[in-house]
C-alpha cells in the first residue's frame, strides 16, 4: 500500500513537473510573442491588442479570419489598408508565434458598457459660455475640414480663399468621414479606437469628447442633428449619442434574430427614411433604425408600425419595441460589408468584400431585386452617381483591379468598365462639373489621378502632381468650380485645381492629408460626394 502511494506520488509529481515545464515553455513562447507584438504591432493595433489605427487583434474580432490567412496577411500585408508586409523583418517562426498570440484570449477587460462611456466624457469647454456667432468671417457653407493623418491633426480651410483658418490636434488615427451638424456649425470625428470628438467651428474649439467603444468603424448623424450613431467592432454594438453633450442615448448590442453577435461594418444616415442603416459584418442581416416618425415608421405604445409603401397601400409590418430607436431587421442572402444607396434611399447595392456578387436590396420590401456581377472588389462606399444619356448611373472604383465599374441604375446592368492605371480607392464629382475624378491608390501608378468626362465615360486627362507620391481623394468646393486633391505623404500637400481648366491654382504643404470634406456638399448630400 505504502509503495503504491509512493509510486503514485512520484508519478503525480513527475506529471506535475512535466506539466509545469510545459507551462513554462508555453509562457516563454507567450512572453516572446508579446515582446514581438509590442515591438512590431502595438503602435497600430493598440495596447493589449485592443485596436487603435489597426483593428483589435483578439479572438473575438478574428472570427472570420482563419489562421493561415492571418499568417499570409502578416507576411504580405493587406491590400487597401495600412498593414505592411513583415516577411523581410520577421522570421517565419516569429510570424507563427504572433499568429498564435493574436488568437489567444486577452487578460484585458473587453467590456465597454454605458457606464464606461459616461465616465470617459470630457468637457473641454462649456458650450453655454461660447459665442453663438462665428469668431471669423467666411462663407460658413464653403469651409473644408482636411484630416491630416501624418501628425493626427485637422485643418479648417476657407473654401473661397484656400487659406487655413485653424489647425488642431485630433485623436489618434481618425477614420471615415467626419460628419457635420445640419447647420454646419459642428463637426464630429471618430477615431479607430472609439473616441468621438465634437468641434465647434464657430469658436474653433473641440468642446466635448467621449470614448464610445474600444474599436469603432464610423459615425452617422440624424437629419435633425440631434443624434449620432457609432458603429463598432468592439464591443459588437451601435451606440447612439446625444450630439449636444455626447451622452449615450442608447447602446444596442448587434445580435441577429438567431442570437448571433456581429461586428458592425458601417453605419449610415438615410435622409428620406429618417433612419440609420446598420451594416452587420458577421451575420446576414441589415438593420434599419428609425429615429423619427417622419420617415414611415411610427413608434406608438410599444409598437413600431412600418407604413412605407411598396407601390401598394397600408402597413407593411408591425413589431414590438422596448423604447425609441427600434430595430427593423432585413435578412440577406449573403454577408454585406460594403454599401451604396440609390439617391432615394430605397435600394441599397451591397457586396461582401471577398465575393463577386453585388446584391441590390429594396429596403422597403426587404427583397433582393437584382444581382450584379462585380469583380475587382468595388469600393462601393466611394461610389457616386450622375445622369448619363437621360438615366441615372452609378460608378465605383475597385480595390483589386484597375477599372471603374459603371452601372445603369434602372436595370442594374454594368454598362461600362473604364480601364484605369491601377486599383483605386476614392471617386468624386459635383453636379456643376462635367468631370469625375478617380485616384489610382495602389501599385506603381499611385501618383496618378484620372479625370473622366461624365458625358462620354472616357478618361480625358491623367495627372501626377507629385511624382512618386500617392495622390488621392478629391473634394469639390460648394459651387463645383475648384477641386482639392491630397498628396498623401508625410511631406504631403493639398493641391487646388480649377475644376474646368484642370490648372493648378494653389499648393499648401500638409502632413499626410487624407480625406477632405466640404460643409455644403456634405450637409446637402451632393450626389458627387460621400455621405
Ligand atoms: Fe476607409 C471611409 C471602410 C481602409 C481612409 N472606410 C470609409 C468608410 C468605410 C470604410 C465603411 C465609410 C465611412 C464613413 O465615411 O462614414 N476603410 C474601410 C475598410 O473596411 C478598410 C478597407 C479596412 C480598414 O482598415 O478598416 C478601410 N480607409 C482605409 C485606409 O487604409 C485608408 C486609406 C486610410 C485610413 O485612414 O485608414 C482609409 N476611409 C478612408 C477615408 C474615408 C473612409 C479618408 C472617408 C472617405 C470620404 O470621402 O468620405
**Any residues with Cβ below 6 Å from ligand 1, and which?**
80-82, 149, 175-177, 218, 266, 381, 425, 473, 514-515, 530
Domain count, the chain: 2
pLDDT for position 34:
93
pLDDT for position 427:
97
Q: Say how far apart CA 289 and CA 297 lie, in whole Å.
A: 9
- Atom 9 of ligand 1, residue of closest alpha carbon: 176
Which CATH number belongs to the domain containing residue 235 in this structure?
2.130.10.10
Q: How far is the CA of 175 from the centre of ligand 1 (A)?
A: 6
Q: Is residue 181 in a domain?
A: yes
Q: Say how far apart CA 241 and CA 221 lie, in whole Å.
A: 10
Instruction: Read off the DSSP letter of residue 55.
Output: P
Q: How far is the CA of 313 from the centre of ligand 1 (A)?
A: 39
Residues paired with 486 in a beta bridge: 472, 494
Residues 117, 250, single domain; the answer is yes
Atom of ligand 1 nearest to the CA of 53: 37
CA count, 13 A, side-chain hemisphere, 442 = 18
pLDDT for position 17:
43
Mutate to test the pocket of ligand 1, among 64, 176, 514 (most ligand atoms within 8 A of CB): 176
Q: How far is the CA of 301 from the centre of ligand 1 (A)?
A: 40
Residues 41, 123, single domain; the answer is no
Which CATH number belongs to the domain containing residue 50 in this structure?
1.10.760.10
Contact 360, 341 (CB under 8 A): no
Q: How far is the CA of 20 from the centre of ligand 1 (A)?
A: 46
Give the pLDDT means over successive 10-residue stretches in the chain (531 positions): 40 40 59 94 90 82 84 90 92 96 84 94 96 98 96 96 97 92 98 94 98 94 97 95 98 96 94 95 95 84 75 71 89 88 91 77 91 85 94 94 95 95 97 97 97 98 97 98 97 98 98 97 93 80
Residues 216, 256, single domain; the answer is yes
Q: Is residue 339 in a domain?
A: no
| Domain residue limits at 33 | 25-103
Atom of ligand 1 nearest to the CA of 149: 36
Q: How far is the CA of 264 from the centre of ligand 1 (A)?
A: 14
- The gap from C-alpha 226 to its chain's centroid, in whole angstroms, comes to 21
pLDDT for position 8:
37
Q: What is the pTM of this model?
A: 0.88
Q: 313: burial class by Cβ within 10 Å (0-12, 13-18, 19+)?
A: exposed
The Cα-based distances of 393 to 330, 379, 418, 440, 480 in angstroms read: 25, 16, 14, 21, 20
Atom of ligand 1 nearest to the CA of 55: 25
Q: Is residue 413 in a domain?
A: no
Atom of ligand 1 nearest to the CA of 338: 11
Atom of ligand 1 nearest to the CA of 475: 48
- Atom 35 of ligand 1, residue of closest alpha carbon: 175
Residues 179, 75, single domain; the answer is no
Q: Is residue 271 in a domain?
A: yes
Contact 436, 468 (CB under 8 A): no
Residues 90, 124, single domain; the answer is no
Q: Is residue 194 in a domain?
A: yes
Which residue shows C-alpha cell 512590431? 40
Q: Say how far apart CA 252 and CA 284 lie, in whole Å.
A: 18
- Atom 48 of ligand 1, residue of closest alpha carbon: 530
Amino acid at each position: 500500500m505504502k509503495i503504491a502511494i509512493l509510486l503514485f506520488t512520484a508519478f503525480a509529481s513527475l506529471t506535475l513537473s512535466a506539466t509545469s515545464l510545459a507551462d513554462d515553455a508555453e509562457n516563454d513562447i507567450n512572453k516572446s510573442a508579446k515582446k514581438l507584438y509590442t515591438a512590431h504591432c502595438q503602435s497600430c493595433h493598440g495596447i493589449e491588442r485592443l485596436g487603435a489605427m489597426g483593428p483589435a487583434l483578439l479572438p473575438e474580432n478574428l472570427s472570420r479570419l482563419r489562421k493561415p490567412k492571418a499568417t499570409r496577411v502578416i507576411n504580405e500585408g493587406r491590400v487597401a489598408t495600412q498593414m505592411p508586409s513583415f516577411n523581410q523583418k520577421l522570421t517565419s517562426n516569429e510570424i507563427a508565434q504572433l499568429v498564435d498570440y493574436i488568437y489567444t484570449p486577452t487578460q484585458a477587460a473587453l467590456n465597454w458598457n454605458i457606464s464606461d462611456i459616461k465616465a470617459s466624457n470630457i468637457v473641454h469647454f462649456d458650450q453655454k459660455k461660447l459665442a453663438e456667432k462665428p469668431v471669423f468671417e467666411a462663407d460658413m457653407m464653403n469651409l473644408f475640414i482636411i484630416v491630416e493623418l501624418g501628425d493626427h491633426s485637422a485643418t479648417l480651410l476657407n473654401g473661397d480663399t484656400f487659406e487655413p483658418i485653424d489647425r488642431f490636434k485630433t485623436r489618434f488615427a481618425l477614420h471615415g468621414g467626419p460628419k457635420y451638424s445640419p447647420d454646419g456649425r459642428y463637426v464630429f470625428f471618430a477615431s479607430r479606437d472609439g473616441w468621438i470628438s465634437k468641434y465647434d467651428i464657430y469658436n474653433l474649439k473641440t468642446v466635448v469628447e467621449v470614448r464610445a467603444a474600444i474599436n469603432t468603424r464610423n459615425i452617422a448623424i440624424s437629419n435633425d442633428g440631434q443624434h449620432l450613431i457609432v458603429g463598432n467592432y468592439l464591443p459588437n454594438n451601435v451606440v447612439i449619442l446625444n450630439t449636444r453633450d455626447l451622452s449615450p442615448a442608447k447602446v444596442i448590442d448587434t445580435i441577429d434574430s438567431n442570437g448571433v453577435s456581429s461586428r458592425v461594418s458601417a453605419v449610415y444616415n438615410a435622409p428620406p427614411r429618417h433612419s440609420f442603416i446598420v451594416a452587420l459584418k458577421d451575420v446576414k442581416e441589415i438593420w434599419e433604425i428609425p429615429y423619427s416618425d417622419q420617415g414611415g415608421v411610427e413608434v406608438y405604445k410599444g409598437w413600431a408600425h412600418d407604413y412605407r409603401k411598396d407601390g401598394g397601400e397600408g402597413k407593411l409590418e408591425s413589431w414590438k419595441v422596448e423604447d425609441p430607436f427600434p430595430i427593423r431587421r432585413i435578412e440577406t442572402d449573403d454577408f454585406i460589408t460594403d454599401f451604396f444607396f440609390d439617391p432615394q434611399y430605397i435600394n441599397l447595392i451591397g457586396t461582401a468584400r471577398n465575393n463577386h456578387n453585388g446584391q441590390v436590396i429594396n429596403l422597403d420590401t426587404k427583397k433582393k431585386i437584382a444581382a450584379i456581377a462585380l469583380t475587382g472588389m468595388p469600393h462601393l462606399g466611394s461610389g457616386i452617381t450622375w445622369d448619363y444619356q437621360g438615366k441615372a448611373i452609378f460608378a465605383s472604383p475597385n480595390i483589386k483591379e484597375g477599372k471603374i465599374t459603371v452601372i445603369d441604375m434602372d436595370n442594374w446592368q454594368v454598362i461600362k468598365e473604364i480601364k484605369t492605371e491601377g486599383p483605386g480607392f476614392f471617386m468624386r464629382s459635383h453636379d456643376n462639373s462635367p468631370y469625375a475624378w478617380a485616384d489610382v491608390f495602389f501599385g506603381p501608378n499611385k501618383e496618378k489621378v484620372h479625370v473622366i468626362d461624365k458625358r462620354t465615360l472616357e478618361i480625358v486627362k491623367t495627372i501626377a502632381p507629385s511624382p512618386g507620391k500617392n495622390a488621392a481623394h478629391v473634394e469639390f468646393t460648394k459651387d463645383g468650380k475648384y477641386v482639392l486633391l491630397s498628396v498623401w505623404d508625410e511631406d504631403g500637400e493639398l493641391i487646388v485645381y480649377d475644376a474646368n481648366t484642370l490648372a493648378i491654382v494653389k499648393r499648401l504643404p500638409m502632413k499626410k492629408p487624407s480625406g477632405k470634406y466640404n460643409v455644403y456638399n456634405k450637409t446637402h448630400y451632393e450626389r458627387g460626394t460621400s455621405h
